[in-house]
Structure 1
Amino acid sequence: MFGGGGMNPRKMKQMMEQMGIDVTELDAEEVVIRTGDEELVFSNAQVTRMDAQGQETYQVVGEPEVHEASETAGAVESGPEASEADDGGEAAIPQDDVELVATRAGVSKDDARDALEAEDGDLAAAIARLE
């Protein structure tokens, strides 16, 4: 936005404050961007929110995992009802959550689902349980 290539970060911050621009670092655990063709999943992204005159802009920095839309479209469109049917009526655990826990903890989807069920769907607790 500004060509501050060699500018002192402190000076840049002062200039932005003078122009009414507020910058905040967010402690994001995951960022997902879905397009018609693919899904970009940023697991360890740096996220910055910039508020300039009431207009919020988000900047995401990191390397995404790229998934084809067909891999996730069924889970997104089917909703919790389909998960209940697949589980034989047990508590609904979204397929996206199962895949996320399996990927983050490096375990099978069955182990990830078991951990999520044991932790009542709590993603962080399920991942911690498996690590």
Structure 2
Amino acid sequence: MFPGMGGRGINPKQLEKQMKALGIDIEEIEDVKEVIIRTGSKEIVFKDAQVSIMNARGMKTYQLVGTPEERALEKEIPEEDITLVATQTNVSRDVAKQALKESKGDLAEAIMKLSENK
């Protein structure tokens, strides 16, 4: 409840009028298909997102409502690491890359694993 409302529900028209008086505009973004928040280790995906923008005197704030789905991101393996493992173990780049994926990027573990299999 907002102070001064006397326990009654908020009249949307009054609220909109008060916000306009304060220089605050709210706009809904129509036809949003998907919103993705990507961090270093995961993606948070909203397929049913409703997004609105609150513009308060030039400062824009985005509000997101929806059901999140988290996905782990596959770690990128540097080309230099693939080349090093392939050279050290005398295997193809594809085999070296797979070994690095399985060892979560650990060069020594990938090289040892491939060297043991020979």
- TM-score if structure 1 supplies the norm length? 0.48
Task: Quickly say closer, same or farther: Cα 1:3–1:35, change in 2 above 3 A.
Answer: farther
Question: Highest Rg: 1 or 2?
Answer: 2
Q: Would you tell me which structure has more helix in proportion to its own residues?
A: 1
Alignment of 1:86-101 (within 5 A): none
Q: Which has the higher contact order (CA 8 A, sep 6+)?
A: 2
Over the residues paired in the alignment, what is the CA RMSD in angstroms?
2.5
Query: Cα distance, 1:36 vs. partner?
Result: 2.1
1:40 match: 44
Percent pairwise identity: 42
Task: Quickly say closer, same or farther: Cα 1:3–1:45, change in 2 above 3 A.
Answer: farther
Structure 1 segments of 4 or more deviating over 3 A?
2-6
Amino acid at match of 2:35: V
User: 1:53 and 2:54 equivalent?
Assistant: no
Query: Cα distance, 1:65 vs. partner?
Result: 1.4
Q: 2:19 aligns with which of 8, 16, 20?
A: 16
**Equivalent residues, number:** 72
Q: 2:69 aligns with which of 54, 62, 65?
A: 65
Query: Cα distance, 1:3 vs. partner?
Result: 4.7
Unaligned runs of 5+ in 1: 75-131
CA distance in 1, matches of 2:9, 2:36: 32
